[in-house]
Amino acid sequence: MPSSCPICSKPSAAATAPFCSVRCRQVDLNRWFTGAYAVPAVELDDVDEEALGEGSDPSGNDAF
């Protein structure tokens, strides 16, 4: 069962999967380039740097 195109919901084509056409693939790529798809970020302007360093190894060799 073919999946649907994430842009226009038509059945996807094997040559352009998961999209139905080259056009829909390019629409998706343009959305990435223009920032329409973005992962939200939290700004850390007011972070206390000393509080961040309290749990780390003083030698700088944190073992994770």
> In the Cβ-directed half-sphere of 25, how many Cα atoms lie within 13 Å?
11
Confidence of residue 59 (pLDDT cuts 50, 70, 90): low
Q: pLDDT tens for residues 12-44?
A: 999 999 999 999 999 999 999 999 988 888 777
Instruction: Check residue 44 and give its pLDDT.
Output: 72
pLDDT score recorded for residue 2: 67
Confidence band of 55 (pLDDT split at 50, 70, 90): low
| Residues 5/16, Cβ–Cβ less than 8 Å | no
pTM score > 0.85 for this model?
A: no
C-alpha span between 32 and 16 (Å, rounded): 17
Q: What is the pLDDT of residue 42?
A: 78
Rg, Å, the chain Cα set: 22
